[in-house]
A and B are shown apart, each in its own frame.
Chain A
Amino acid sequence: MTMATSTPAISRRDYSAPLVGLGSFIACLLVVEGLIRFGLLNRFIVPPPSEIVMSFGRLFAEENIVHRFFFTAGECLLAGVMVTICGISIGVVMQRFDLLRRACETWVAAFASAPLVLTYPLFMVIFGRNAWTIIMMGFLAALPPVILKTIEGISGTRKVLVNVGRSFNLTPAQQFWKILFPAALPTIFVGIRLGLIFALINIVGTEFLINFGGLGQLINDLAERYDLSGTYAAICFVILVSVVFFIALEKAERWLRPVD
């Protein structure tokens, strides 16, 4: 580990590190391409990256990937709305009644670390092999972080703001809606962001597992048809969608929290 304490010149934004990262990634792809073309890597196990890229076109033309994208997005949206309403409500109630909070908060935290998505066979029995199972999986996975962050946000309101409200003799309801809740919004949004990410991951995962739905089901379908490059391409597409979604949520959070 180097011990330089004098800092090198960084007057403008230094792009050398991100370029090295990107360059290494591209270099890896080229190496894989080369290994396959020279027969060192079996092309029936790892298709050449060039073929994967070309399969993207097929996905759009033949496999209805856009339609599937909107289907998955719709499931996420529904799960998101459900978890926002339920999660925040439960969180508010739990924060309001301290005894309830002390009794149940650790339970919620425990469920956050439990493999909730493994109950999908159970939900398949209850709802059938359809979209509701998928939406419920997203909903359940997203619930704990929203609840916990709502509680954290409201109880974390700076004491001085609470005192300002009391100095104006606000009723408890006014205190909540005018001070506590707005002050908690940034933290609550962090919870929703986390929840939405978990929801997406579990929704796509469940679609894959039960072979129903949009993007996840596409991957499963292509895999069962032994369409190698198609499978890889679909996986890449889904990863791309997840990453874009994640970045969008981060930007949204920064917009909501300009002072930090």
Chain B
Amino acid sequence: MASSAGSSDAILVADDIAVRFETPEGPITAVDNVSFQVRPGEFLSVIGPSGCGKSTLFNVIGGLLNTHDGVVTVAGETISGPHKSIGMVFQEESTFPWRTVTDNVAFPLELVGMPKQKRVERARHFISLVGLDGFENRYPGELSGGMRQRVSLARTLASEPKILLMDEPFAALDEQTRLLLGDKVLQIQQQLKQTTLLITHNITEAVQMSDRILVMTYRPGKVKRIVDIALPRPRTSEIVGSEVFGRYVAEIWNDLREEANRGMRDEEKSVLRREEQAS
């Protein structure tokens, strides 16, 4: 459980997070004893197999899940609900189908009562940032999946959060779109110097975009290892082909393989258990 980040200048601190659930099959510990820190401007990925509690962690940090042990602080303040310094981008389709792209992106600005003129202007800026110029007045239904995720991203960025928290935002997209969007996110992050915490199961994505990668074990999710990614910045998706990239990916897969296997065996066992109970 080594942490290689400095502690005094961390903008996000997760301290000994543990989450337990009651299920019909008994209590399970989704996440246990997770601690880490994020520096301002840093891109940290959290990677792990399915069932390692990544999404649980996402909900804890985002303030949507408050029944947990441990403390999360943002710029010194303890989180007890969604915090104004944290912006969340969800895995599922989350654009509002009844609003135009502009109205979607302006949503957080509308909530704080920004006047219409200013909202639209500000929204335009972020729509442009994600590369959707010309689509301001379209509805999400008219856009592709990748474009809709960009709208969601622009919407979150429009609230100008200190920390951008993303839960597998590209999971539903094909590999090529994913790589290109990853490029875009990287570009934006580097431009805005946006502190970013990315939850993912995709190793390539994590290595491509991160400064550090936190590898989690299978349930109960603990911090297995934190890897420093010493690839040069600024980066683009071209780096995916390099040898050094490949080595990082291999290293992390090594860590993950064991956990992923445990996960698979566990799933098979629970299916058999359910069949026994039903019969």
Residue pair A6, B64 in contact (C-beta under 8 Å): no
Alpha-carbon distance between A171 and B214 when the two chains are bound, in angstroms? 67
- CB of B65 within 8 A of chain A? yes
- CB of B76 within 8 A of chain A? no
CB A13 to nearest CB in B, in angstroms, measures 12
Alpha-carbon distance between A233 and B140 when the two chains are bound, in angstroms? 56
Alpha-carbon distance between A254 and B109 when the two chains are bound, in angstroms? 50
Residue pair A4, B67 in contact (C-beta under 8 Å): yes
For B11-27 the 0/1 string (1 means CB < 8 A from A) is 00000000111111000
Alpha-carbon distance between A7 and B56 when the two chains are bound, in angstroms? 13
CB contact under 8 A between A3 and B67, given known A9-B22, A10-B24: no
Count residues of A near B (Cβ-Cβ below 8 Å): 9
Alpha-carbon distance between A11 and B22 when the two chains are bound, in angstroms? 10
CB A69 to nearest CB in B, in angstroms, measures 43
A5, A7, A8, A10: the one within 8 Å of B64 (CB): A5
Alpha-carbon distance between A9 and B24 when the two chains are bound, in angstroms? 7
Residue pair A5, B59 in contact (C-beta under 8 Å): yes
**CB closest residue in chain A, given B24:** A11
For B43-69 the 0/1 string (1 means CB < 8 A from A) is 000000000000000010000111100
Please indicate the chain A residues that have their CB under 8 angstroms from the CB of B22 in the complex: 6-9
Which residues of A from 1 to 24 have beta carbons under 8 Å from B?
3-11
Residue pair B24, A6 in contact (C-beta under 8 Å): no
Please indicate the chain A residues that have their CB under 8 angstroms from the CB of B19 in the complex: 6
**CB closest residue in chain B, given A9:** B22
Alpha-carbon distance between A11 and B25 when the two chains are bound, in angstroms? 8
Residue pair B21, A7 in contact (C-beta under 8 Å): yes
Residue pair A3, B21 in contact (C-beta under 8 Å): no
Alpha-carbon distance between A134 and B3 when the two chains are bound, in angstroms? 81
Alpha-carbon distance between A49 and B95 when the two chains are bound, in angstroms? 52
Please indicate the chain B residues that have their CB under 8 angstroms from the CB of A5 in the complex: 59, 64-65
CB B220 to nearest CB in A, in angstroms, measures 14
Residue pair A3, B64 in contact (C-beta under 8 Å): yes
CB A11 to nearest CB in B, in angstroms, measures 6
Please indicate the chain A residues that have their CB under 8 angstroms from the CB of B21 in the complex: 6-7
CB B153 to nearest CB in A, in angstroms, measures 23
Alpha-carbon distance between A159 and B59 when the two chains are bound, in angstroms? 44
Alpha-carbon distance between A5 and B59 when the two chains are bound, in angstroms? 9
Alpha-carbon distance between A4 and B59 when the two chains are bound, in angstroms? 11
**CB closest residue in chain B, given A12:** B24
CB A114 to nearest CB in B, in angstroms, measures 31
Please indicate the chain B residues that have their CB under 8 angstroms from the CB of A11 in the complex: 24
CB B274 to nearest CB in A, in angstroms, measures 15
Alpha-carbon distance between A4 and B63 when the two chains are bound, in angstroms? 11
Alpha-carbon distance between A4 and B67 when the two chains are bound, in angstroms? 8
CB B57 to nearest CB in A, in angstroms, measures 12
Please indicate the chain A residues that have their CB under 8 angstroms from the CB of B65 in the complex: 3, 5-6
Alpha-carbon distance between A9 and B23 when the two chains are bound, in angstroms? 6
CB A1 to nearest CB in B, in angstroms, measures 12
Alpha-carbon distance between A11 and B24 when the two chains are bound, in angstroms? 5
CB A121 to nearest CB in B, in angstroms, measures 45
Alpha-carbon distance between A10 and B23 when the two chains are bound, in angstroms? 8
CB B23 to nearest CB in A, in angstroms, measures 7
**Which A residues are within 8 Å of any B CB, using their own CB?**
3-11
**Which B residues are within 8 Å of any A CB, using their own CB?**
19-24, 59, 64-67
- 18 CB-based A-B contacts, threshold 8 Å: A3-B64, A3-B65, A3-B66, A4-B67, A5-B59, A5-B64, A5-B65, A6-B20, A6-B21, A6-B22, A6-B65, A7-B21, A7-B22, A7-B23, A8-B22, A9-B22, A10-B24, A11-B24
Question: Which 4 residue pairs across A and B have the least CB separation, nearest first?
Answer: A9-B22, A6-B21, A5-B65, A6-B67
